Structure 1
Amino acid sequence: MAATLFDTSAMEKPRILILGGTTEARELASRLADDVRYDTAISLAGRTADPKPQPVKARIGGFGGADGLAHFLRDENIALLIDATHPFAARISHNATEAAQRTSTKVLALRRPQWQLEPGDRWTPVESVAEAVHALGPIPRRVFLAIGRQEAFHFETAPEHSYVIRSVDPVTPPLRLPDQEAILATGPFAEADEAALLENRKIDVIVAKNSGGSATYGKIAAARRLGIEVVMVERRKPADVPAVGTCDEALDLIAHWLAPA
């Protein structure tokens, strides 16, 4: 697949590889797709069973850690690596930084700004999903899990609570919890719909990751309106690479970095 990922008839064009999986990654790829100055491709981890079509050539699957990504960057003569993965995809971001350093490849992180506490919010900040489990306390509660499926298994250690678990794909293997409801859905989620869900399910507390962006902010705004507590998993310190918060900023920096000599 790597041999046909880029346009071999346009070797003079700088090659851009986007590590994707987010709305921002797809938007950036769309805006670069018709830009004749660059040869752009996107790589997806393959964790979603039915990923959306991409506006540029796409590669599906992992690279084999920092070593594999470094080989790919070198073999494919990548001029710029853009880390536009999920804000909580710490491992791939670390691998991207390390691989770029090894190969002297320019690297840019596209990170959406995180949500900020506003008047009326009832946030309990925690540093990890495991810590979020303990933050629920021992008294049984109705919990809305909105953290994706990868780390939902942590809550098997707190079976006293009732859970409503929303994810894009089913949690596998199924959680061993006596009282759980699964909702399969893909954002964006409107605030009014989120408020209705929280009220209909009689939710006492939400567990969420501070992902930022507008697509999943509806539940945070709805919780504020309804006075519902949010156990908020905060982001870890990001990799120390040049970073921007919007596609416009990314495009400006790309044009500056990859300007013809």
Structure 2
Amino acid sequence: MECLRIWLIGGTRDSAEVARGLVEAEIPCVVTVTTPAATRLYPQAPTLTVRVGKLTREQLFTFVVDESIGAVLDASHPFAVEISHGAIATAQQHHLPYLRLERPPITLEASDTEATVTEVPDLGTLLANGSLQGERVLLTLGYRSLGACRPWHQHITLFARILPSTTALTAAFAAGFTADRLIALRPPISPDLERALWQQWQITTVVSKASGQAGGEDTKRQVAAQLGIPLLIVARPQVAYPRQTDSVAEALTICQHWSQIFRSRSNNHPLE
């Protein structure tokens, strides 16, 4: 029987940490990422395979069979809900265990009130309420959110920070952003660079995601407090994860348990 493997849904620094732990423990793993650049996050090892490309719901069903997947560890970005929904459904269809590694959120601190840190339910609500009209707004939401902002360029002076990829740049230009209102940088970004960028563009409001420390949210909160600039945080989407943890160590312990079962099970015994 071919050795079963763990499907690690990656593309984040959290997933890279998990991947290193799986390699050290010699646990077979398939990592999926959506861009070639993300492959640099992961070590090269005989027990680890990295697959690049977006998987549809239909492809997921055959993917777990073709790749001999025995369990799913979802360490995708908190806002990558499409792949999480697909992975949960696929795991249920194949009777595979699923674990969500959800990076812990950043809680409101006393210093945040000085910068008027405010959580908003979604970008659409924020744009529709008119509160940003006339402001110089920096968006650090990822390129997928920029299309929704296209109609607002005439009301808001919009700037965006995106990843340095052709896909992100193409999407930003299609959303009406010009080169002088874009900067392409890959995190992590230091507080000094973050502060300098806001000052250079004379930003009056920043809109970001509740992406946690790994997504640089703590740095934005720090700089916002220092400069007295309002920081609007788009809340994470709500997903009904069957099982989740915010601990990499716990996730690796569960993976080790799965791996032990992989080694001892037979073709006719489903993984519990």
TM-score surpassing 0.5? yes
Cα distance in 2 for residues equivalent to 1:186 and 1:109: 25
Supply the AA of the counterpart residue of 2:88.
Answer: T
- The answer to whether 1:62 aligns with 2:60 is no
Cα distance in 2 for residues equivalent to 1:78 and 1:179: 43
The correspondence for 1:146, drawn from 134, 137, 140, is 140
Q: Is the 8 A contact 2:73 2:99 kept in 1?
A: yes
Supply the AA of the counterpart residue of 1:172.
Answer: T
CA deviation after TM superposition for structure 1 residue 186, in Å: 0.4
CA deviation after TM superposition for structure 1 residue 162, in Å: 1.4
Q: Structure 1 residues 252, 57: CA separation in 2 closer, same or farther (over 3 Å shift)?
A: same
CA deviation after TM superposition for structure 1 residue 35, in Å: 2.1
- The answer to whether 1:32 aligns with 2:19 is no
Secondary structure of the residue that 1:73 maps to in structure 2?
Answer: helix
Partner of 1:197: 197
The size of the alignment, in residue pairs, is 247
CA deviation after TM superposition for structure 1 residue 132, in Å: 2.6
Q: How many percent identity over aligned positions? A: 27
Q: Structure 1 residues 220, 16: CA separation in 2 closer, same or farther (over 3 Å shift)?
A: same
- The answer to whether 1:72 aligns with 2:67 is no
Partner of 1:4: none
Q: Is the 8 A contact 2:100 2:241 kept in 1?
A: no
Cα distance in 2 for residues equivalent to 1:41 and 1:68: 15
Residue ranges of structure 1 left out of the alignment (5+ in a row) = 1-9
- The answer to whether 1:44 aligns with 2:39 is no
Higher mean alpha-carbon deviation, 176-185 vs 74-83, is at 176-185
CA deviation after TM superposition for structure 1 residue 68, in Å: 2.0
Partner of 1:259: 260
Cα distance in 2 for residues equivalent to 1:79 and 1:132: 42
Q: Structure 1 residues 130, 180: CA separation in 2 closer, same or farther (over 3 Å shift)?
A: farther
Cα distance in 2 for residues equivalent to 1:58 and 1:178: 34
Cα distance in 2 for residues equivalent to 1:226 and 1:258: 49
Higher helix share: 2
CA deviation after TM superposition for structure 1 residue 178, in Å: 7.5
Secondary structure of the residue that 2:111 maps to in structure 1?
Answer: coil
Q: Output aligned runs, 1:87-166, within 5 Å.
A: 87-121=78-112, 122-135=116-129, 137=131, 139-159=133-153, 160-166=155-161
What per-residue deviation string (whole Å, max 9, x for no partner) do you get for residues 103-155 of structure 1? Answer: 00111111101122211321232222222323552631111110011111211
CA deviation after TM superposition for structure 1 residue 180, in Å: 5.6
Cα distance in 2 for residues equivalent to 1:40 and 1:103: 18
Higher mean alpha-carbon deviation, 137-146 vs 200-209, is at 137-146
What per-residue deviation string (whole Å, max 9, x for no partner) do you get for residues 172-204 of structure 1? Answer: 241325896100000101222212222222111
**With structure 2 as the length reference, what TM-score do the two structures score?**
0.83
The correspondence for 2:12, drawn from 22, 33, 40, is 22
Q: Is the 8 A contact 1:150 1:171 kept in 2?
A: no
Q: Structure 1 residues 110, 178: CA separation in 2 closer, same or farther (over 3 Å shift)?
A: closer
